[in-house]
Amino acid sequence: MGSAMLKGWLQAGIFAPDAVVVTDKDSDKVVSLAKEFSVDHSDDNARAASGAKTVVLAVKPQDSVGVLEEISSVLNGDTAVISIIAGLSIASMRARLGGAPSIVRVMPNMGAQVGASVSGYAVDSGEGSFDGGLPRMLLESIGEAVEVEESAIDLVTAISGSGPAYFFLLTEALEAAAVQEGMSPDIASKLARETLWGAAKIIKDTGRNPVELRKAVSSPGGTTLAALGVLDEAGFANLISKAVEAARKRAGELTQ
């Protein structure tokens, strides 16, 4: 995710390659990243963060405490810390970074790989200066962005963070159903994937209400209503609601 975001920022011209330093505990990976994006690299987190206006934390939760402790002494009120570390609260970061830097907790999603993420973010401005437009500018360069209260981040995780998996599951199910009905796998795959992509594009490009769109394609007595009737009888909407609630609850359990 970190490399996907960096790619988007470089392509958008938000950061120049010579202004970026990447670090990673895997020395081979960091060298590869530096070569791919023509940026500097370091094996020293404090050195990389020293003097930086923007520090992006894209490490695994189990590595977060060590990284925060390493960089805390070199941050100041002019630093914006952007964290995509799953489950790490602003309070936990603040306890280790002190009161000076601004902290932005972000939940992006897999769409960042193709410049189509939707990211929810929460801000704690800290004691120093803070450019409120910075996180939105960064996140909109890789898709869409919405600012929320931190209390809503778990729900953001359940909707958009985990959301691509729900979409992929629907794609799998459509493909499997078509094959079960006798269609060849390659044709089933193309029909399912392109249909869902087209439907998503209609919502994105037109901004029309999905309820309105669903009704527009559901002719009385037709095939679509027959299918929707089965989904409704099986409690499709309720299943989605329960799935989101389960993801939100688990996100809360993992937050520290």
pLDDT tens digit string along 191-222?
A: 999 999 999 999 999 999 999 999 999 999 99
pLDDT of residue 132: 86
What is the C-alpha to C-alpha distance for residues 13 and 57, in angstroms, rounded to an integer?
20
Can you tell me the mean pLDDT for 13-26? 94
**Model confidence, pTM:** 0.92
Torsion, Cα of 113, 7, 45, 147 (10° steps) = -60
pLDDT at 189 over 90: yes
Residues of the chain with pLDDT > 90: what percent?
A: 96
With a cut of 90, say whether residue 6 has pLDDT above it. Answer: yes
Q: What is the pLDDT of residues 154-186, one digit of tens each?
A: 999 999 999 999 999 999 999 999 999 999 999
Q: What CATH number does domain 2-152 carry, 3.40.50.720, 3.30.565.10, 3.30.420.40, 3.30.470.20?
A: 3.40.50.720
| Cβ within 8 Å of residue 49, ≥6 positions away | 55, 71, 74, 75, 79
d(CA 55, CA 20): 10
| CATH of region 163-254, choose from 1.10.10.10, 1.10.760.10, 3.50.30.30, 1.10.3730.10 | 1.10.3730.10
**Of 150, 107, 154, which Cα lies nearest the Cα of 125?**
150
- Which of 253, 240, 81 shows the shortest CA–CA distance to 169? 240
> Where residue 229 falls among pLDDT bands split at 50, 70, 90?
very high
What is the location of CATH 3.40.50.720 in the chain? 2-152
Distance, in Å, from the CA atom of 228 to the CA atom of 27, rounded to the nearest integer, reads 52
Cα 139 from Cα 145, distance rounded (Å): 6
CB 83 within 8 Å of CB 104: yes
Tokens encoding 256:
């520290």
* Secondary structure element (H or E) that encloses residue 124, with its range: strand 117-124
